[in-house]
A and B are shown apart, each in its own frame.
Chain A
Amino acid sequence: MINNKGFFTIPLVVFMLIFIGFTSYLFIISDKTSNYVHIGGTASNIFSAYQETEKALFFIDKSADYSVYKTLRNINLDFKTNCGKKDNYIILVLGEQTCFFEGDLFNNNFNSIFNNYLLDYTASYDKMGISKLAYTSEFSDYGVIGRSKELLILNRSNITYSVEPSFKVKLDFNIKEVFLDANNKLKEIYLSCKSDKNCWEDKKTEGIIVQDNGKLFIIEVDTEHRFGLYDEKLVLRFGLNFETNPLFR
Chain B
Amino acid sequence: MNKKGLESLMLDPYGFITLAILLVIFLLLMYLAGTVNANKSNVDNVIVPAEILLLNYLRTDVEVDLNNDKVVESVNMADLIVMSFGNEDYNKKLKDTTKNILSKAKPYGEWGWRIIIKNEDKILLNLVESPTRGDIPRSHKELFINATIPSDNNKIISIIMYPGYL
Residues of A within 8 A of B (CB): 2, 4-9, 13, 16-17, 20-21, 24, 27-28, 31-34, 37-38, 40-41, 43-45, 47-48, 51, 54-55, 58-59, 62-63, 65-66, 69-70, 120-121, 124-125, 156-157, 229-231
Contacts and interface: CB of A to CB of B under 8 A. Distances in A.
Nearest to B29: A24
- SS class of chain B's interface: helix, strand, loop or mixed? helix
Contact of A59 (B11, B45, B79, B149): B149
Contacts, number: 134
B44 A48 contact: yes
Contacts of A58: 55, 58-59, 78, 147, 149
A32 B44 CA distance: 15
Contacts of A63: 150
A31 B22 CA distance: 26
A32 B115 CA distance: 39
A124 B75 contact: no
A167 to B, nearest CB: 13
Contacts of A40: 43
A8 B46 contact: no
- SS class of chain A's interface: helix, strand, loop or mixed? helix
B73 interface: yes
Contacts of B83: 229
A16 B154 CA distance: 67
B126 to A, nearest CB: 22
Contacts of B103: none
A17 B25 CA distance: 9
Contacts of A17: 22, 25
Interface stretch (B34-42, B104-112, B133-141): B34-42
B79 to A, nearest CB: 6
Given A4-B8, A28-B37, A13 B22 contact: yes
